[in-house]
Structure 1
Amino acid sequence: MRQTSRIASVMSLLGGFVAVAMTMGLLTAGLVIPAVGVAGQATNNGIKMFNQMPADFQMNPLAQQSRILASDGTVIGTPFNENRIVVPLNKIAPVMQQAQVAIEDERFFEHGGVDPKGLLRAISTNIMSAGTQGASTLTQQYVKVALQNKALASGNKDAAAASVARSGMQGYVRKLQELKYAVTLEQKYTKQQILDGYLNLVYFGDQQYGVEAAARHYYGRSASQLTLPQAATLAGVVNAPGVTDPINNPEAATKRRNQVLGKMYAQQMISYKEYTDATSHDLKSDLKVTNISSSCASSKYPYFCYYVYNWLLNEPSLGKTRKEREAALKGGGLTIQTSFDPKLAAKMDKDIKSKVPVANSENVQAAALTIQPGTGLVLATGQNTAYSNNTTAGKSAINYTVPLNMGGGQGFTIGSTAKFFAIVSAVQQGRDIEGDINVPKFSGKDKNGNFVRFTNKQFPGECGLAPGENWDVHNSEGHESGGPMPIIEATAGSINTAFAQLVSELGACDVHATMTKMGVRNGDGTEIGKSPSGIILGSEPVTALDLANAYATVAADGVYCTPRPVKSIADANGKQLKLAQAGCKQLLSKDVARTVTKVFENVLKPGGTAYASRLAGDRPAAGKTGTVEGATQSWFAGYTPELATAVWVGHADNEKTLKDVRLGGKYYDGYLYGSTIAAPIWKTIMDDALRGKPERKFAAPSSEFLDGNKVRVPNVKGQTPDNATSMLESAGFKVKQGPAQDARLFEGLIMGSTPEGGEKVAKGATITIYPSTGRRPSSTQPTIAPAVSPN
């Protein structure tokens, strides 16, 4: 009874189809089979089921590996779920095509998708035994694997199981559906297109999908270069890849290879000599196994690879959701051209590790990032660790230079490199860079030395101090007495108290807004805090990426570009995708940017904190040192017209003071400042990157812009001190009262000023006013002494 039931099932689903189809020639002429009156009910049931099955079948694009390329074409990474490289049929050796057809479907070029002879033989066998013996043509095999792939890609496990069902009613239904799809496929596509699709689709063992990936993996060559023994070996793997791949099962692979060669000889594809030579060939002698990984961890440049990978997961052109983008990245066959410069990165790596060795006994870390002004393209990153999820000394999975969502960390406090933004705000507000800051005198002394105390009076509001809150500001060295100091001098010497005073005049929220619009955020992506210490002295954690890019904005004459590691993305067909995370805009005026550069050039000139790290040949450059209070972190960020680089040296855990350390065979006595190690690393990176390239000078700000910062001093002669002060402050000046002078005016009225009324003086300069004693001046009365800084 069981055998009778199996016969009825087979005949109803397959027998009727084959008998009528062969009689009427419908396997190649059409897809609808009419019911036949003389046939039995089982036959007509099979025909009815066949006609109700879907017929449309598309050769969908195959999932294949994407490639992440460096600027010189070097492969940085190959993300994939299935390691597949799709190639056209003309890039697959003819001998490979022949071998696959010979072993899988010798009548491939004769039938219309279904081989009637093979199918009848299989039906006869199935009637007498359990299961559904295959009579699959190469076209049917393609349909089967393609359906399974499609189901797996969509997460439909039931459909995936149904696509490979081998027994029972489900197996018969699957086979019948494959038959119909195969006929459809043959009508829509040429034999060459089907063979092309098959060779790019099927699994060749050892995690290799498609013949191109298999050829590269097993033999270190392209599919177009395969020899006869190699092609026969690969063709033999497809039927049972788990037991016939040449690496793990060389004996079985050799036996199967020889079966393929026998088929090729029997079908007159090769000569007897070619057959005997190939069967006697040592299979192992050809193997040149090349393994590639989909993980960036195995990349030669893992930190940059993961940076690119995470950037791509945030790129809207790859999909609406993160899941869609990852699917495109791992299966879309994308070509991702990055801006990564391997030569620059190698030199950067050497420069960092020579000064701060890997796994040094002081547990000091260092990292750097270089970006191109005017494009936002990141050229290189480097750090003194080896990539690993193991957190032992000298190892880390965190890229210290990029934000948390790009494979980085929280960032590090940036110290005095933050003063850069105060100067940008000052220049935008019209302050003359040669004008004075009236630096307060020290208020007291604590364990860290002399300090100036600032309160809510100097820093009110959202970006200020709370009522009753004190902020004690120290200087690393110098300027103990206070008094007028030119902005440009305060910058070169990095005078903390001068900058605290400057920002109190500019408005801390204005400087905070400047930082934000220039792209500076905390490493976790949140907004920089609004405390004066974070805004002025860099007590907020920032990444080298954001810092370098902000400096690059000034280097590019005020053009801000969204930082990115990717230049372009092409899909599997070579079509360029429009990057959503790319773009530049004129953020600062050229004159503002050029004036800011004029200020920070002095940091690398005599008297500047980084004079010892000026570039080779005194190449024009600008930058700023940064040391966090307590010396837990140190920085240097600087630029030329061509490049901007930020260097960090510190402790990743933010706990230990950088003091009295031995690194790279050198002992550093005392605290490590930004000028101690970070600036010298910056110098070597920039010198290496620019060596042999023509020198480019910074453009100067226009004289109209510089003169535009100067305003005419109001004539305050005869005014009361209060009125005079009000007039001068309204004009943008600071006011200081000098000693009384004899004059033909009532006592207490202002008899003059320096600079004098009518002179054009830098906005923000200090004007000294002189009250009258009320006494007539004698003939020997001296002239009014000039102010300390008349400009």
Structure 2
Amino acid sequence: MTLLKRLLQFIIVCGLLGVLTLLALYYYVKSDIPSVEVLKEVQLQTPMQVFTKDGKLINQFGEKRRIPVKINDIPKPLLNAFLATEDNRFYDHFGIDPIGIVRSAIVLISTGQKKQGASTITMQLARNFFLTREKAYIRKVKEIFIALHIEQLLSKDEILELYLNKIELGHRSFGIGAAAQVYYGKELHELTLAQMAMIAGLPKAPSALNPISNPTRAKSRRNVVLGRMLTEKYITRSEYNEATQAPITAKRHGAEIELYAPYISEMVRAYMVERYGAEKAYNTGFRVYTSVESEIQLAAQQALIDNLHDYDMRHGYRGPEAVLWQHEADPIPARAELLKTLKSVNEIAPLVAGIVTHVYEQSAEVLLKSGQSVVIEWDGLKWARAYINEKRQGNAPKAAADVLSPGMQIWLRENNGWQLSQYPQPSSAIVSLDPKDGRIKALVGGYSFAQSQYNRAVQAKRQVGSNIKPFIYSAALEDGYTLASIINDAPINHWDKSLGVAWRPKNSPEVYSGPIRIRRALAQSKNVVSVRLLRGVGLQRSADHLLKFGFADEDINRSESLALGSAAITPLEMARGMSTFANGGHLIEPYFISEITDAYGNSLGKAQPLIACDEEQRLENTMQCAPQIISEQNAFLISSALHSAVWGGGSWKHKTGWVGTGWRAQALKRRDLSGKTGTTNNSVDTWFTGYNRNVLTTVWVGFDDASKSLGRAAYNNNLGKGQTVGAEAGAITAQPGWVRFMKTALQNEPLAPIDPAPGLTSVRIDLKTGLLSSKNDYTSRFEYFESDTVPTKYVQQDKSKTPFSTDSLPEQDELF
């Protein structure tokens, strides 16, 4: 009895000591045990993804790749693979596995080595979220306490879901969703049993056992997992045999970028970092849906690239990037050496690096980085006369040897066959938006984001040239002028006392029409008329009017050169301002983010743009209306004049026909387009802005160096009819890019003309004087007027016919 009593006392003392030890350990590690709030709100480090409006991935930001998945969306075989390998008693234990701990202790005592960690999935989750992988006893104690704590707060499914989304699986993939994408480029449900087992075998050693870096070891580990699944009866013998014989199919897959649009995605990244901070923006799984449409965005990018190459080609070939050998007597490097040289070249899409190996009469053979040899035919070479400077080009080549020789390292691109190419020197930007609410439909800030991250669409303040004139003319209409007002289109010679020189603004080209109606003056971009209108309204009043369109005060210079476009404005600011004429006089706010969601698709906010409301919508007060900054009548009259800039006027039959500066937009064969060209002094900046009621697009082309002229191009004898020659200008440098883009942007759009505003009156006027006319021939046309500006005098006192009409569009008499 004495022995039994002492044994009992010993057990009690040991038990008390054990309890005290556990309490002491608990209080020692208590500070490391997460709170309920931390566990419930634990955030997976998931990268931010940026999408088009129609759901195509355009970029991803964040160091760790993770695609969160819900437990119900995980295939059962994949769950079984992890349970069989990592913790087959997961649903039976309370966070720690006593059997596993005893087994680990026996190994430790017998070998003196910590070969088995006895970690359950819950303990691994505790370590992955809150601890390190350090093999220390105190870490194991902390792991146990945290695991017990987790089991009290979360369900088994919640624990398993967190674990499978958190676990590191190699190649910067975290969680099974990302691993499926990184290794196989698949969704979880698309994986085979062998692929699932491969992923389930990675947690033990993600770097050493992954199938990309170590396929042999990875295959061995995969088969161990399959063996565990067979033992636990998760799979049949035949499934095991088939899976163990499956080849290793893993290879590195990048993020599935469906449309690379770096300029708009960088705008999103900057916005999200500013709003949420870098840590939260990059790691909490935001899914940002931009406002751009994939097809239209792609068209904008391609139009900009093609337009810059067109400019670059007409100005001549600047020569090869390098010359590897020059003479036939020089030793020709081996093919392997040539390929090594090409592999070191950083290609910028759509350009491809190549080395000329043979030159024939009117073709050349070129070796590409891929090892493929291609032939550039004469159609891809004949443009390449020598570049001398921006204003001069050499003679047109007559043979391939005039352009290329073996040993040249060159650039090519595919354009209906292989074509000799080069990196364009000028830059460009395109902004397209919905003028009714400011939704950016497409935005491109340059030729290559890899070459320059400078976003010219939103950062480049460039002089706008004649793109400013619609705003000057709008001020004039507000001041009482009409589209029928006659202004003298004649040279101006103004003495500037402060400078001691005469200011002589000129038309471009230097053609003067004498007395001219304001409609035609705007359509033909008459510089001196713009100056006279600025003087008539007053410089300060004109500048104040321009500020209504959202332009910054510091960008609107107070000098008469303002009438010719000396103001510096970004393409996005220009598109916003011009939208006022397309939407009935409202100032919209451009936006590029449609919606932000969390990693699971829950909406965190949607765009709530200001709308260009009509009168009914404004009265109903059912939406947020953009402010009305000019009258609807003023907006329509400017759009109508800009319609004439595209379609011209007069009668070609009677030799009074004329064209506007934007006539190239006629190639789209749409009668609902208005537009304005813009060119600055010495062809430094070129612009075109054109629109209908639903789509407005601005294109700018120029050098990043604002002191450099775009120059001029001479006739190339090899190219024949249809080529662009002469000084670069908005109509021939920027507008072709606009036409290219709008061909796609408008292909599914119904006609959307700017409708006449209420309160306007259409009367027939005399084309020479702007007075009322009773004639119904080529000497007159219908013109729109605000009710208090209708002419009261006839060109001839013949009132036998009424001048009023119900015709809806004044252009009907001027179309040709």
User: If the length of structure 1 is used for normalisation, what is the TM-score?
Assistant: 0.71
Q: Residue 139 of structure 1 is aligned with which of 113, 122, 128?
A: 122
Question: What amino acid maps onto 1:564 in structure 2?
Answer: Y
For residue 532 of structure 1, report the CA deviation from its aligned partner: 2.4
Give the alignment partner of residue 327 of structure 1, picking from 235, 257, 279: 279
- 1:593 corresponds, among 614, 625, 635, to 635
Percent sequence identity over matched residues?
Answer: 26
SS in structure 2 at match of 1:208: coil
Residue 602 of structure 1 is aligned with which of 628, 644, 648?
644
| Equivalent of 2:598 in 561, 571, 585 | 571
Measure the CA separation in 2 of the matches of 1:123 and 1:83: 37
Equivalent of 2:255 in 292, 295, 306: 292
Please say if residues 446 and 455 of structure 2, whose CA atoms lie closer than 8 Å, have aligned partners that are also in contact. no
Q: CA deviation at 1:506?
A: 2.1
DSSP-derived class of the 1:256 partner: helix
Cα deviation per residue 1:493-535 (whole Å; 9 max; x = unaligned)?
A: 21212212211232333333443442345xxxx9414242663
**1:561 corresponds to:** 588
- In the alignment, residue 98 of structure 1 is paired with which amino acid? N
Match of 2:482 among 427, 432, 436: 432
- C-alpha separation in 2, matches of 1:579 and 1:662: 53
- Residue aligned with 1:84, SS: coil
Q: 1:601, 1:622 within 8 Å by CA — same for their partners in 2?
A: yes
Residues 137, 350 of structure 1: alpha-carbon distance in 2 compared, 3 angstrom cutoff: closer
Aligned partners of 2:269, 2:483: CA distance in 1, in Å? 42
Q: Take 2:211 and 2:124, find their aligned partners in 1: how far apart are those partners?
A: 22
Q: CA deviation at 1:49?
A: 2.8
Cross-structure match for 2:684:
632
Moved more, 365-374 or 106-115: 365-374
2:433 maps to which residue? 371
Counterpart of 1:453?
494
1:475 is matched with 507
The one-character-per-residue Cα deviations of 1:696-752 (angstroms, maximum 9, x if unpaired) are: 222113335899xxxxxxxxxxxxxxxxxxxxxxxxxxxxxxxxxxxxxxxxxxxxx
Q: 1:166 to 1:356 in 2, by over 3 A?
A: closer
- Check the 8 A contact 1:422/1:536 in 2, yes or no: yes
The equivalent of 1:769 in structure 2 is none
**Aligned equivalent of 2:414:** none
Q: 1:135 to 1:384 in 2, by over 3 A?
A: closer
Residue of structure 2 equivalent to 1:166: 134
Q: Which residue of 1 aligns with 2:769?
A: none
Letter in 2 for 1:145: N
CA distance in 2 between partners of 1:208 and 1:543 (Å): 40
**1:63 counterpart residue number:** 45
CA separation in 2, counterparts of 1:350 and 1:211? 37
- SS of match in other structure, 1:337: strand
- Correspondence for 2:537: 506
Q: Which moved more, 1:363-372 or 1:80-89?
A: 363-372
Contact 1:369 1:545 in 2 (8 A): yes
1:233-248 map, 5 Å: 233-248=198-213
Q: Check the 8 A contact 2:633/2:759 in 1, yes or no.
A: no
Match of 1:683 among 739, 742, 751: 739
Contact 1:615 1:621 in 2 (8 A): no
- Residue 208 of structure 1 aligns with an amino acid whose one-letter code is S
* Shift in Å, 1:364: 4.1
User: Once the 2 structures are TM-superposed, how far is the Cα of residue 43 of structure 1 from its aligned partner?
Assistant: 5.8
Give the distance between the partners of 2:791 and 2:43, measured in 1 at CA: 66
2:275 paired with 1:310: no
User: Which of 640, 644, 658 matches 2:711?
Assistant: 658
Aligned to 1:86: 68
**Mean Cα deviation higher: 531-540 or 494-503:** 531-540
What secondary structure, in the 3-state scheme, does the structure 2 residue paired with 1:217 have? helix
Q: Over residues 305-336 of structure 1, what are the superposed CA-to-partner deviations in whole Å (9 max), with x where a residue is unaligned?
A: 3323324533xxx57x45x3443432232222
Q: Does 1:47 align with 2:23?
A: yes
**1:412 corresponding residue in structure 2:** 462
The one-letter amino acid paired with 2:536 is E
Match of 1:701 in 2: 757
| Contact 2:473/2:533 (<8 A) preserved | no
1:270 aligns with 2:221: no
Shift of 1:417: 0.4
Supply the distance in 2 between the matched residues of 1:61 and 1:247 (Cα, whole angstroms). 29
The alignment partner of 1:81 has SS state of coil
Distance in 2 (alpha carbons) for counterparts of 1:704 and 1:207: 65
Q: Identify if the C-alpha distance between structure 1 residues 261 and 165 changes in structure 2 by more than 3 Å, giving closer, same or farther.
A: closer
Which one-letter code corresponds to 2:255 in the other structure? Answer: I
| SS, match of residue 77 in structure 1 | strand
Distance in 2 (alpha carbons) for counterparts of 1:222 and 1:346 = 26
The CA distance in 1 between the partners of 2:715 and 2:551, in whole Å, is 33
Query: Does structure 2 conserve the Cα–Cα contact (< 8 Å) formed by 1:625 and 1:679?
Result: yes
- The Cα of 1:632 is off from its aligned counterpart by 1.8
CA contact under 8 A between 1:437 and 1:487: conserved in structure 2?
A: yes
Alignment coverage as a number of residue pairs: 617
For residues 341-373 of structure 1, give each alpha carbon's deviation from its aligned partner in whole angstroms, at most 9, with x where no partner exists: 332344444544554417644634444322111
Tell me, in whole angstroms, the C-alpha distance in 2 between the residues paired with 1:41 and 1:311.
60
Q: Which has the larger radius of gyration?
A: 1
Question: Which residue identity does 2:129 align to in structure 1?
Answer: A
Equivalence for 2:180: 215
Q: Secondary structure at the match of 2:603?
A: coil
Contact 2:667–2:739 at 8 Å: present in 1 too?
Answer: yes
Structure 2 SS opposite 1:164: coil
Distance 1:700 1:62 in 2: 56
Match of 1:281 among 234, 246, 257: 246
Per-residue CA deviations over 1:41-71 (Å, capped at 9, x if unaligned) read 5762442231461463514131213332223
Three-state SS of the structure 1 residue aligned to 2:682 is: coil
Q: Note if contact 1:67-1:333 (Cα within 8 Å) is conserved in structure 2.
A: yes
1:559-608 per-residue CA deviation (whole Å, 9 max, x = no partner) reads 32211222222222433233578434133332221122122222113232
Give the C-alpha shift of residue 452 in structure 1. Answer: 2.8
Secondary structure of the corresponding residue to residue 586 of structure 1: coil
Of 546, 550, 568 in structure 2, the residue corresponding to residue 515 of structure 1 is 546
Asked if the contact 2:446–2:454 (Cα under 8 Å) also holds between the matched residues in 1, the reply is no
> Runs of 5+ in structure 2 lacking a partner?
1-7, 317-389, 391-424, 612-625, 649-657, 764-786, 798-816
1:205 and 1:241 in contact (8 A); partners too = yes
Q: Distance in 2 between matches of 1:506 and 1:625?
A: 23
CA distance in 2, matches of 1:329, 1:311: 10
Gap change, CA 1:477 and 1:266, over 3 Å in 2: closer
Q: 1:480 to 1:423 in 2, by over 3 A?
A: closer
Partner of 2:87: 105
Q: Counterparts of 1:329 and 1:36 in 2: how far apart (Å)? A: 56
Shift of 1:94: 0.8
Contact 2:712 2:726 in 1 (8 A): yes
Deviation (angstroms), 1:625: 1.1
1:386 to partner: Cα distance? 3.6
Report the AA paired with residue 437 of structure 2: T
| Secondary structure in structure 2 of the residue aligned to 1:577 | strand
2:57 corresponding residue in structure 1: 75
The yes-or-no answer on 1:642 pairing with 2:694 is yes
Equivalent residue letter for 2:494: R
Q: C-alpha displacement at 1:653, in angstroms?
A: 2.3
Q: What per-residue deviation string (whole Å, max 9, x for no partner) do you get for residues 241-265 of structure 1? A: 0100011110110111111122222
Unaligned runs of 5+ in 1: 1-22, 24-34, 148-162, 294-298, 390-395, 405-409, 443-450, 457-465, 708-759, 767-782, 784-791
Q: Tell me how far apart the structure 1 counterparts of residues 269 and 591 of structure 2 sit (CA, whole Å).
A: 10
1:544: Cα distance to partner?
2.1
